[in-house]
Amino acid sequence: MPQRPAPWPAGSVATAYHPPSLAGSLTSSPATTLPARPSWRERGALRLSALLAAGVGALALLGQQAEPAARAVPPADAPNGALTIGAVIALTGNANLYGQDQRVGLSLARQWAQSRPRQPGEPPLRPLHFQLQDGGSDEATAIAGFNLLIRQGVLALIGPTLSQQAFAADPIAQRRGVPVVAPSNTARGIPQIGSFISRVSAQSSVIAPLSISEALRRDPRIRRVAVFYSQDDAFSTSETAIFQRTLRARGLTPVSVQRTQLADNDFQIPITAALQADPQLVVISIQAVGGGNLVRQLRELGYRGPIVVGNGMNTANIYPICQRWCDGILIAQAYSPELDTPINRRFRELLRRSSPDHAPSQITAQAFTAYQVLFEAVQRLQRRGGLQSVSLGQARKALMAELLAGTYDTPLGPIRFTPDGELVQGRFYVAEVRMDPGGRSGRFALVRETASGDGAQ
């Protein structure tokens, strides 16, 4: 290796140098150009790294905590007798539109639980605390939220908002034996993560085909269908697969399939491409904001036919986006505000009282339901004495068994669970968006109710 002696003092930046191979340079000892003893800066770096290493080591030691699962569950009438339900939902990030709705639903459920009329002779309830943590819209934040609440000794968890987050965070709860009720995870395979994972949100494979059926029932002559979906969104891609499968089963092949991105708001190009195929029906699987814009632009560019949208647009937040152009779009829902049962009337009344301008939506109702099923299961367990002289770990296990065994009358209608935690829901709905004359707000008007034999497919 040709190396001239450096004309400048050792320790300055550069020496004449022809780099050898990488492996060689890591092991070679260029001692000739080195200062005899470490420079101040090097010593400082060593000291700082030692300091950081000591810091990390100290944090690792401090992070070692007693496993709360071994703690005994206090009796219900003890001053510390309250058990805690934790929730990790997306209050920040791009899923926060859903998280805010869920926060409302959870708070309504707590009001409902506190104000529930007591039957005469009913034993005292087990008091429940509630802890809400932001799960962000990414995997790491959801994991951190789950870890935090599990460490604090929660009895059960509600969340996380997105299915992708569930795939990251649920295995942690499963390993620690903490029951999880997912309020909005619709992807395939969520309850299969483990025995402690369940959900109150019906899979898209159950709901999505209903709206297509409704559109075809209204106009059986439809032959040409255009499909839009955002290809970088887990929810939209799985939903569009179901939509397209349903179409194929009806003998319809999409004349145009347009793939968009989650962050897109301008759809002129895909719309123009799709309209060239002259579709008689448009099927959309895109999240709320993008979907609202797509519907509006479709209408503005001259499409007059029926539009079927997916679950991502199942929120009143689309009204201000597509305004009067929203009118008439068809959507399948797991919840209908028009369901006339005592619990749904109570849900709507609480909602009207606490947030008058918040339209009842599926996401809110499902979050309400998640808390409700946990609350009812805890109280049943308490009545049967299942929370007496057990450890928290045993109580969690017993609660999971109790949760799956029960049936529940919820704002979604009557529901129960399969043994592996999948939801079995009795009724599904197809709604049509009807906008007010001003075009600023509207409602999901129920057009059809479907009784499902078995919600879990």
Partner 1 sequence: MIDHGLLVQMLIGALLGISVYLPLATGQLSLATPAFYAVGGTLAALLSTRWAALGARVDGSFPLPSFLLELVLGGALAGLLALLVGRLVLRLQGIYLAIATIALVEIVRVAILNLPFTGGAVGIFGIPQPFPTAAGYLPPALALLLLAGWVCQRLEVMALGRAMAAVREDELAARCMGIATTRVKLSAFVLSAVLAGSTGALAAHFLNTWNARQGSFDTAVTMLAFVILGGSRSWLGPVLGGLLLTALPELLRPVGDVRLVLFGLVILLGPALFPQGLVTPALLERLGRWGEGSRP
> Would you tell me which residues interact with partner 1 (CB under 8 A)?
13-20, 22, 25-26, 28, 30, 33-34, 39-49, 52-53, 56, 59-60, 62-65, 91-92, 133-134, 138-141, 143-144, 147-148, 151, 163-164, 167-169, 171-172, 175, 187, 189, 193, 231-234, 236-238
* Closer residue to partner 1 in complex, CB, 100/410: 100
User: Smallest distance from the beta carbon of 33 to partner 1, in angstroms?
Assistant: 7
Strand partners, 198: 181
Stated as kind and residue range, the H or E segment containing 399 is helix 392-405
* Closer residue to partner 1 in complex, CB, 236/369: 236
* Closer residue to partner 1 in complex, CB, 15/341: 15
Nearest in space to 313 (alpha carbons), one of 392, 410, 229, 246: 229
User: Smallest distance from the beta carbon of 50 to partner 1, in angstroms?
Assistant: 10
Contact 449, 431 (CB under 8 A): no
* Closer residue to partner 1 in complex, CB, 198/344: 198
* Closer residue to partner 1 in complex, CB, 233/422: 233
User: Smallest distance from the beta carbon of 159 to partner 1, in angstroms?
Assistant: 15
Please give the order of strands across the beta sheet that includes 423-425. 407-410, 413-417, 423-425
Contact 228, 260 (CB under 8 A): yes
* Closer residue to partner 1 in complex, CB, 164/361: 164
* Closer residue to partner 1 in complex, CB, 22/451: 22
User: Smallest distance from the beta carbon of 7 to partner 1, in angstroms?
Assistant: 11
Phi then psi for residue 82, to 5 deg, are -75, 140
Contact 380, 407 (CB under 8 A): no
Residue 333, token pair as written in the block: 């829902």
CA distances from 374 to 27, 107, 198 (A): 60, 14, 11
User: Smallest distance from the beta carbon of 252 to partner 1, in angstroms?
Assistant: 23
User: Smallest distance from the beta carbon of 32 to partner 1, in angstroms?
Assistant: 10
Q: 330-351 in b/e burial notation, b at 16+ Cβ within 10 A?
A: bbbbbbbbebeeebbebbbebb
User: Smallest distance from the beta carbon of 272 to partner 1, in angstroms?
Assistant: 22
